[in-house]
Structure 1
Amino acid sequence: MYSVQTTQTAAQADSQGQGQVKKTPLELNCQGTPLPGIPKHPTFAAQRQWLLEQMALAFRCFARKDYTDGMAGHISNPLAVHFGLLKASDMILVDYSGVPVGGNMSRPANAAGFLIHSAVHKARPDVTVAAHTHSPHGMAWSAFGRPVEMLTQDAAYLYGDAQAVYKDFGGVVLNEEEGRRVAAALGPRGKAMIMQNHGLLTVGSTVEEACFLMTLLERACQVQLLAEAAAANGLPKILIAEESARYTFDNSSDAETLYWEGQPDLQYEEYMAKGEHKG
């Protein structure tokens, strides 16, 4: 049974611990022995194979959550293959000139996906994975051209400049300039973006981070739409205080914590795939 401290805020309790060894956000989120850090593999080939398998699981997660929409949406997938069928061997390796140079060469890559991803990776060397979906609540909220508000603890994972809005929708992204504008709108610290009249984009240093942030942002859009409907009927919205939102972000949105936030969904997909995703 846990005791609950009610006489001070978490931020105040944290400040009183000055002089002690500062814990990482992942350590703070673990009661007991902390979870290990992000896996590292002994060779580049092993690291790359693990990454491809995690990507296949992320696609299957997106399929189960109904983020599929014809040929739209991408991580690094062949065009016109259902997310729920993707395997590690289906992924396409494309160079910065746009030429497929490895992986599944039987189908073309997604042109819009390449232009967005290549621009993001050029602008943000810290980004290993970028994901884009046309999820239903994300598309609905994107019509307002506004960020999600700090309505919930989950939304606070995207506090401040971690969340961006791209307002310059010019149709399907089929030219390099549009891709560069998308990357510029994301900014140097952005983790997630509302693409006005389009959908959602998330990035991360791991597949798990980008995948989890996509599910979090889609749910935040859904909550925002529900809250707006209630507010339209006279119920006032109450936003999380700046200090609390910042504190939540600082202790929840580092790479290690977001890797583990994404693990449960991918663990479930691995169980359901019965190894098929590795093919």
Structure 2
Amino acid sequence: MSKTYIYPETKAAVSAAEWEQRVNLAACYRLMAHYRMTDLIYTHVSARVPDAPNEFLINPYGLMFDEITASSLLKVDHDGRIIHDPTGIGCNPAGFVIHSCIHHARPEINCVLHTHTAAGMGVAAQQQGLLNISQHAMRFHGQLSYHDYEGVALDADEQPRLVQDMGSNKAMILRNHGLLTAGATIREAFDLIYYLERACQAQIAAQSGGAALHICSDAVAAKVASQFSVSDGSDEQDWPALLRLLDRIDSSYRQ
């Protein structure tokens, strides 16, 4: 890991709460790289600044996800004004359009994550969307939104429709485009994208086999979704375990 993307002055310039958020967001970027959910530099994860709710952190538009560090993250407000950009690279315009409107409309959401994976785009291109063919898929039953493709997300005019289509859900398939999840925490948003991605992978794999699919009923799917809605305490264990994984690989995300 090159030290080119480590900026010691950032830590001195932000609050302790923001720094902790930065470390967790940088970790999320590294995890996205580790689990191969990247599209070069063109997708994004954002996190609200804890003590400045009208500002959020996002990747500089030019770093690979495995290069992201806590100190290199860009800070921007909901109006697009760059607050802090240690790299000088700037922000992905499409990333700003997608993320800013969700952060603005959903104050309970503190992290938004968007991907262009092969499996995610594959399911996003299917008329029927995500099918009840795996436990991973059924956890999203009744809690998954869809947004029709309108072109590359560069137009602010699309923002109200993104927000309206997402509704109160925390996961959405952007048709012909990719996946999007959101959470009250970075951990929650990552957990949702990880399992939504796995559900899409399972669907594409099952369809590729050519055999008839066994699709579970909506009643069973609703039961599964209800079961997943009850916390078993694992959410207090999995994120620290993931951070330990990253620390074994390369702990520079913390800098």
- Normalising by structure 2, report the TM-score: 0.81
More strand by share: 2
Aligned to 1:13: none
**Match of residue 116 from structure 1:** 98
Query: Aligned partners of 2:111, 2:237: CA distance in 1, in Å?
Result: 16
- The answer to whether 1:165 aligns with 2:146 is yes
Change (3 A) 1:145 1:128: farther
Determine the C-alpha separation between the residues in 1 that align with 2:37 and 2:91.
19
Letter of the 1:45 counterpart: S
Alignment of 1:272 with 2:254, yes or no, is no
Residue deviations 1:87-106, cap 9 Å, x none?
01111111122011124351
Cα 1:81–1:46 shift into 2, 3 Å: same
- Counterpart among 155, 168, 173 of residue 194 in structure 1: 173
* One-letter amino acid matched to 1:78: P
Corresponding position: 1:88 with 2:70: yes
Q: Return the match for 1:50 from 20, 39, 46.
A: 20
1:183 and 1:115 mapped to 2: Cα distance? 11
2:42 to 61, 69, 72: 72
Cα deviation, 1:200-240, whole Å, max 9, x if unaligned, reads 1010011111112111111100111223344x533533347
- Whether the aligned pair in 1 keeps the contact of 2:131 and 2:215 (CA below 8 Å) is no
CA RMSD of aligned residues (A): 2.2
Amino acid at match of 1:133: T
TM-score after normalising by structure 1: 0.75
Contact persistence 2:133–2:213 (CA under 8 A): no
The structure 2 residue matched to 1:228, chosen from 200, 203, 207, is 207
Aligned residue among 164, 173, 183 for 1:204: 183
Cα offset, 1:261, TM superposition: 4.2
Q: 1:187 is aligned with what amino acid?
A: G
Cα drift, residue 242 of structure 1:
4.4
Percent of pairs with identical residues: 30
Matched, 1:150 2:132: yes
Structure 1 runs not aligned, ≥5 long: 1-43
Aligned 8 A contact 2:78 2:101 in 1: no
How far the C-alpha of 1:243 sits from its partner, in A, is: 4.9
**Quick check: 150-159 or 116-125, which moved more?**
150-159
Decide which structure has the larger Cα Rg and report it.
1
**C-alpha distance in 2 between matches for 1:112 and 1:196:** 16
Matches for 1:256-267 after TM superposition, within 5 Å: 258=235, 260-267=237-244
Letter of the 2:247 counterpart: E
Deviations 1:141-195 (A, max 9, x none): 11114442333332233231x211112x12111111212211221112x111111
Q: Distance in 2 between matches of 1:263 and 1:179?
A: 34
Shift in CA distance, 235/212, structure 1 to aligned 2, threshold 3 Å: closer
**After alignment, is 201-210 or 138-147 more displaced?**
138-147
Q: Give the letter aligned to residue 163 of structure 1.
A: L
Cα gap change, 1:135 to 1:262, in 2 (>3 Å): farther
1:269 alignment partner, SS class: helix
Q: CA deviation at 1:247?
A: 2.7
Runs (5+) with no aligned partner, structure 2: 1-13, 46-57
| Structure 1: distance between partners of 2:237 and 2:172 | 21
1:67 shift after superposition:
1.8
Q: Does 1:179 align with 2:159?
A: yes
| Alignment partners' CA distance in 1, 2:222 and 2:124 | 27
